[in-house]
């Protein structure tokens, strides 16, 4: 007989370490199938609906044991393409009042469709864990299929490069810009040296990384769970497959910008006379400063209007509705006082009801190239070599920089989690709060240790612990996140206030009365 239950998980409060037992909101069903195997399948948050689902499962088991046709068998005979079309339609409907983005749905469905096609699944009954595992292994083995280049050829045209690497000619410009590779000439005279072609070949044929393979696995498991929830399959054949450990092979890790790099980036954007994807140099300066001072993602920043900012409250805040955030929850984020001072003048010329930063910069391929233009102008490398592979300074690196600023005395882990909007402290510390090699070098430099055979007696091998700065409250901690030197720009007031554009971040020019520390 089927039984209903709610799984219980144990959660640990990161601030106090107290453990609490929390029941799932969703009911689950435990029953024995026709083969005598005990199954546990998810039901619904409504107990009555879950009980009806359990009754349906029991009925199907009884019919199977009696040799009669069941509902699952009818669904299993339907073409999997029809099931995938219904799955896609359900994804495009609103989820708890928040519509899913078309790009997310297209990407997820395309991954499932590729697995179905390459594994040869004609119906949902043919979906097996073994074939999916073979597909994922083939993605990794694609690194062995690198094309051979003509050893005598030193320079390639666009058509020759596309033919040699089996890629579309229109993607070459994007790849060259993304990886910062060399090319000479313009238009039909544009040529690509052999080193560029070899670098592209190595990048395009290095095999799919574990993170991408995990995305494929998560997509097809999502599809199988949907089949079970909607009564189209009796169980999920992929339920036991676990994702890979991505820490062993990271392909696109971000890095935090140093305080000097932040100053140079902001100065380069402010001084730029270029308009990039609808943003002037002053627009990009304010955009980068807001990204570093709030940790907002590109899509969240693109949704902000003049009404999103309440700069007269204490502390000044910016509001983002749940329809625009990644987790679907509305957020009210406090602003550093220096950033709020700058935004008062900057927003004064912006129209109400319109995006503060309009244009196409926040698209799938727009944010990183936009930032990269100002990185190059500031002399900041887009990619550097880290201890475990390359580290990139794309637009999401500004969020890493913000969370790195929270790693300072007086700010607790709970406060950092809330400001970063993380539900898991491991993500805050392990991914975003990871100390850079330069930071670790500063710590090691303070260790009093003799280079002889053993530490000296009067200078034991212990790190010098600095006293923590006492911060009055969470609000004060939030408004002091950015060190003063991060927003310092050489004499900006004399240049900008004369034409009444907007006040500057700090009062280094002798107008301290207009600046709040």
Q: Distance (Å, rounded) from C-alpha 310 to C-alpha 324?
A: 18
- Strand runs labelled E in 248-308: 253-254
DSSP line for 445-492: HT----SSSS--SSS-S---PPPPPP-S-HHHHHHT-S-GGGG--SSH
Per-residue pLDDT tens over the stretch 201-260: 887 777 778 888 999 999 999 999 999 888 788 788 998 899 988 777 777 788 889 999
pTM over 0.85? The answer is: no
Per-residue pLDDT tens over the stretch 118-161: 999 999 989 999 999 999 988 876 555 678 888 889 999 999 99
For the chain, how many residues are written? 517
CATH code 1.10.150 region(s) in the chain: 80-138+210-247
Per-residue pLDDT tens over the stretch 358-408: 988 886 667 888 898 999 999 999 888 877 778 889 899 999 999 888 877
Which tokens sit at 191?
Answer: 């040529």
Which numeric CATH code is attached to 259-432? 1.10.443.10
At the second CATH level, the architecture of 146-204 is Orthogonal Bundle (1.10)
Q: Which fold has domain 80-138+210-247?
A: DNA polymerase; domain 1 (1.10.150)
The CA distances from residue 271 to 62, 274, 371, 411, 454, in Å, are 75, 9, 14, 34, 54
């Amino acid at each position: 007989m089927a039984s209903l239950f709610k799984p219980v998980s144990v959660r640990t409060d990161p601030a106090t370490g107290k453990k609490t037992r929390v029941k799932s909101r969703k009911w689950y069903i435990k029953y024995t199938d026709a083969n005598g195997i005990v199954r546990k399948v998810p039901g619904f948050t409504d107990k009555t609906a879950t009980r009806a689902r359990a009754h349906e499962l029991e009925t199907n088991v009884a019919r199977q044991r009696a040799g009669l046709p069941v509902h699952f068998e009818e669904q299993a005979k339907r073409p999997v393409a029809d099931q995938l079309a219904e799955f896609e339609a359900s994804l495009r409907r609103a989820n708890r009042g928040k519509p899913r983005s078309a790009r997310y749905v297209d990407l997820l469905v395309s991954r499932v469709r590729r697995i179905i096609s390459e594994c040869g699944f004609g119906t949902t009954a043919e979906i097996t864990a073994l074939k999916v595992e073979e597909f994922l292994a083939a993605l990794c083995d694609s690194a062995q299929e690198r094309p051979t280049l003509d050893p005598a050829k030193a320079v390639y045209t666009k058509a020759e490069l596309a033919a040699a690497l089996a890629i579309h000619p229109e993607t070459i410009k994007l790849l060259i810009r993304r990886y910062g590779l060399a090319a000479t000439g313009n238009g039909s005279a544009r040529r690509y040296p052999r080193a560029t072609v070899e670098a592209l070949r190595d990048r395009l044929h290095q095999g799919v990384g574990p993170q991408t393979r995990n995305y494929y696995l998560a997509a097809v498991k999502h599809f199988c769970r949907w089949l079970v929830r909607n009564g189209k399959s009796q169980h999920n054949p992929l339920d036991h497959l676990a994702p890979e450990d991505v820490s062993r092979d990271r392909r696109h890790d971000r890095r935090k910008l140093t305080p000097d790099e932040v100053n140079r980036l902001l100065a380069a954007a402010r001084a730029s006379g270029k308009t990039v994807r609808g943003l002037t140099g002053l627009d990009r300066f304010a955009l980068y400063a807001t990204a570093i001072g709030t940790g907002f993602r590109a899509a969240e920043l693109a949704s902000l209007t003049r009404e999103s900012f309440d700069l007269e409250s204490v502390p000044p805040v910016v509001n983002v509705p749940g329809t625009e955030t990644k987790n679907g929850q509305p957020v009210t984020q406090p602003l550093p006082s220096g950033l709020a001072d700058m935004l008062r003048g900057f927003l004064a010329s912006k129209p109400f009801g319109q995006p503060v930063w309009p244009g196409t910069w926040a698209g799938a391929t727009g944010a990183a190239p936009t930032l990269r233009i100002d990185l190059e102008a500031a002399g900041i490398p887009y990619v550097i070599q880290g201890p475990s592979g390359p580290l990139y300074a794309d637009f999401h690196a500004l969020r890493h920089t913000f969370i790195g600023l929270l790693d300072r005395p007086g700010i607790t882990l709970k406060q950092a989690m809330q400001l970063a909007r993380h539900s898991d402290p491991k993500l805050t510390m392990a991914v975003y709060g990871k100390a850079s090699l330069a930071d670790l070098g500063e710590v090691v430099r303070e260790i009093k240790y003799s280079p002889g055979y053993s530490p000296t007696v009067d200078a034991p091998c212990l790190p010098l612990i600095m006293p923590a700065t006492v911060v009055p409250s969470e609000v004060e901690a939030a408004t002091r996140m950015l060190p003063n030197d991060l927003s310092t720009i050489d004499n900006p007031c004399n240049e900008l206030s004369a034409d009444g554009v907007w006040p500057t971040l700090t009062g280094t020019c002798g107008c301290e009365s207009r600046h709040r520390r």
